[in-house]
């Protein structure tokens, strides 16, 4: 473990907006603003954990209708059919487009599920401050921030095919309610990840 000093111990705060290092207010619970950019300085956003829990649980609830309800309705020459996210992936797989099936599976199933697990684990460990695998947990959190928004892929695919296939009685594609819930999952998990303060991973029994 590195013995590098931390801002909290030195009584300074790095401004999240402009990066300026400022003296922490005393007493510590007093509100202070960055003298350069005017942003509120937070030594830690500790209420972020509760907010992140609320957003994460809401996202998990949304994930159920997102998968159960159809995301798209396709009408081809009078034959209408609803498709869910799973049937969309299976269709690509059966048609032999394994690569595309894999891309959609990763964006729509693997990434959201990984986010639930990783964020849940971060939020549980944030309260206890174990020294276990800190570097790895920090890496996982950064991974969630980097790949999180790729789940929006399915929403945009539905938008594009629904925008294109508009041939009245011959062929028509329309969005369905499932896609709204799915978009909700993406936005809620992104907000949950933003509420979590990664500095909490490194707090508690330093040595």
State in angstroms the smallest separation of the CB of 113 from another protein: 18
State in angstroms the smallest separation of the CB of 115 from another protein: 14
Whole-Å CA distances, 156 to 33, 179, 198:
39, 10, 30
State in angstroms the smallest separation of the CB of 132 from another protein: 15
As given in the structure block, the two tokens for residue 132 are 């276990």
Nearer to another protein, 44 or 60 (CB): 44
For residue 175, with 0-12 CB atoms within 10 Å meaning exposed, 13-18 middle and 19 or more buried, which class applies?
Answer: middle
| For helices 153-164 and 177-195, angle between their N-to-C axes, nearest 10 degrees | 150
- Among 73, 8, 79, 2, which residue's Cα sits nearest to residue 42? 8
Nearer to another protein, 25 or 120 (CB): 25
State in angstroms the smallest separation of the CB of 124 from another protein: 19
Nearer to another protein, 5 or 78 (CB): 5
Nearer to another protein, 54 or 194 (CB): 194
State in angstroms the smallest separation of the CB of 11 from another protein: 10
Nearer to another protein, 12 or 54 (CB): 12
Q: Using CA atoms, how far apart are residues 57 and 86, in angstroms rounded to an integer? A: 22
Q: Using CA atoms, how far apart are residues 84 and 176, in angstroms rounded to an integer? A: 9
């Amino acid at each position: 473990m590195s013995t590098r000093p931390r801002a909290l111990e030195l009584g300074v705060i790095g401004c999240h907006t402009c990066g300026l290092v400022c003296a922490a207010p005393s007493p510590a619970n007093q509100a202070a603003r960055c003298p350069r950019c005017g942003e509120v300085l937070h030594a830690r956003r500790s209420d972020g954990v509760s907010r992140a829990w609320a957003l994460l649980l809401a996202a998990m609830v949304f994930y159920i209708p997102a998968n159960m309800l159809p995301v798209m309705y396709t009408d081809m020459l009078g034959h209408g059919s609803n498709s869910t996210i799973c049937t969309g992936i299976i269709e690509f797989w059966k048609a032999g487009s394994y690569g595309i099936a894999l891309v959609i599976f990763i964006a729509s199933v693997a990434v959201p599920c990984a986010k639930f697990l990783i964020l849940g684990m971060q939020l549980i460990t944030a309260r206890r401050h174990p020294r276990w695998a800190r570097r790895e947990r920090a890496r996982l959190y950064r991974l969630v921030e980097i790949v999180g928004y790729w789940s929006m892929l399915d929403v945009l695919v539905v938008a594009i095919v629904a925008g294109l296939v508009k041939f009245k009685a011959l062929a028509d594609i329309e969005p369905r309610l499932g896609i709204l819930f799915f978009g909700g999952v993406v936005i809620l998990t992104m907000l949950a990840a933003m509420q979590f303060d990664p500095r909490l991973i490194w707090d508690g029994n330093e040595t």
